[in-house]
Amino acid sequence: MTTKIFTRPFTQQEPISDDAINAATEVLKSGRLHRYNSISNELSEASLLEQEYASFQGSRFCLACASGGYAMSVALKAAGLIADEKVLTNMYTLAPVPGSISNAGGEPIFIEINENLVLDLDDLSKKVVSSKARFLLISHMRGHLVDMDKLMQIVKENNLILIEDCAHTMGAKWNDERSGNFGLAGCFSTQTYKHLNSGEGGLLTSDDPEFMARAIILSGSYMLYERHGAAPNKEVFADIRLETPNYSGRMDNLRAAILRPQLKSLDKNIKRWNERYQLVEKKLKEVKGIKLPKRTAKESYVGSSIQFRIPGISPSDAAKFLEINKEHGVEIKWFGSDDPNGFTSNHKSWKYVKQQRLEYSDKILSGLFDLRLPLTFSLDDCSLLADIISECAQSFVSKTN
For 36-99, give the DSSP string: T---TTPPPHHHHHHHHHHHHHT-SEEEEES-HHHHHHHHHHHTT--TT-EEEEESSS-THHHH
Average pLDDT over residues 221-240: 96
The predicted structure's pLDDT at residue 235: 98
Tell which residue, 95, 101, 168, 186, has the closest CA to residue 135. Answer: 101
The predicted structure's pLDDT at residue 104: 97
Q: Is the separation of the CB atoms in 332 and 369 below 8 Å?
A: yes
Instruction: Write the CATH number of the domain with boundaries 266-400.
Output: 3.90.1150.10
Quick: pLDDT tens for 151-168: 999 999 999 999 999 999
Is residue 1 predicted with pLDDT exceeding 70? no
The predicted structure's pLDDT at residue 396: 87
List, in order, residues 6 or more apart from 18 with CB less than 8 Å away: none
Is residue 398 predicted with pLDDT exceeding 90? no
Average pLDDT over residues 55-77: 98
Strand intervals (E) in 142-254: 161-165, 173-174, 177-178, 185-189, 202-206
Q: Which amino acid is at 360?
A: Y
Is residue 265 predicted with pLDDT exceeding 90? yes
Quick: pLDDT tens for 292-335: 999 999 999 999 999 999 999 999 999 999 999 999 999 999 99
191, 197, 200, 204: CA torsion to nearest 10? -80
The band of 90, judged by pLDDT with boundaries at 50, 70 and 90, is very high
List, in order, residues 6 or more apart from 214 with CB less than 8 Å away: 77, 78, 240, 244
CA distance 158 to 181: 19
Q: How many helices (H) and strands (E) does the chain have?
A: 13, 13
Tell which residue, 274, 276, 302, 278, has the closest CA to residue 292. Answer: 278
The residues spanned by each domain of the chain are 18-264, 266-400
Is residue 399 predicted with pLDDT exceeding 80? no
Instruction: Write the CATH number of the domain with boundaries 18-264.
Output: 3.40.640.10
Is residue 264 predicted with pLDDT exceeding 90? yes
Average pLDDT over residues 175-200: 98
Helical packing angle, 148-157 and 121-131, nearest 10°: 20
Quick: pLDDT tens for 281-294: 999 999 999 999 99
Is residue 176 predicted with pLDDT exceeding 70? yes
List, in order, residues 6 or more apart from 108 with CB less than 8 Å away: 86, 87, 89, 97, 98, 101, 102, 353
Q: Is the separation of the CB atoms in 298 and 174 below 8 Å?
A: yes
Is residue 401 predicted with pLDDT exceeding 70? no
Mean pLDDT, the chain, whole residue set? 96
